[in-house]
Amino acid sequence: MLSLAQERGAGIRLGEPLSLTYKDFIEDYLSYEVMLGGAGINGSDYYRKDFENNPPSSNAFYQGHAASRGVSINFRMALHEDITDVFDITQGYLLGYGGAGIQVRTTNVDYTYIQSNPGLPETVLREKRNNFDLGPEVFAGAEYYFDETPISVFVEVGMFLELIDRINLKGQGGVGVRYLF
C-alpha cells in the first residue's frame, strides 16, 4: 500500500507560507520536502520594535511602516504513518506525518520616521529594509493519496521559531495538492 507514497510529488501549498512544493520519499516512512514561495508579514508591533531597536540615528522616531511579502524557502524532513484504517477509508490511503525543518524568510519593509534635530524643523524620512528571518520549524499533517489519479491532497499545521534576527514564534499552516510522478 505504501508503494504509491514513494512517488515524488510537486504542487502548490496555500497558506503560510504560500509555496510551490516538491516532496520525495527516502524510505517508506521518511520523506524530504523543499518549498519555495512567499512569506507572510508579521504584526505591526514586530516591525515597530525592530525599528526602535535599530533606528537609523539616535534622533529618529518611528511613525509607521508598510510591509510586503518576500521570499520563503523551507527544507523539511517528515516521518509518515499509514492511518487509513483509523478512518475506515476504503479507497485510496491516508498518511499522517510529523517533522521538522529549516526556514528562511524575507520581508520588505518601508519605514516612515521623524528626524529631530535641535534648532531645525522636524523632517519626515523613509528607509527601506529587508527583514531576514531564519530558524527551525515543526509541523504535523495528513496527506490523502487517490487510487486511480496521480494526485495527493494534504493539510498541515506548524510553528516557526525565528532565531535570526530576533526571537519570534509564528504559527503556520496550509492545504495543498501535489501531482505524483
6 pLDDT band, cuts 50/70/90, is low
Question: Which residues in 17-92 belong to E strands, given as ranges?
Answer: 18-27, 30-39, 60-82
As a whole number, the mean pLDDT across the chain is 93
| Domains present along the chain, CATH in parentheses | 4-180 (2.40.160.20)
The yes-or-no verdict on residue 1 having pLDDT over 80 is: no
Question: Do 104 and 75 touch, CB atoms closer than 8 A?
Answer: no
pLDDT, one tens digit per residue, over 37-52 is: 998 888 889 999 999 9
This model's pTM is above 0.75: yes
Give the cell for residue 44: 505591526
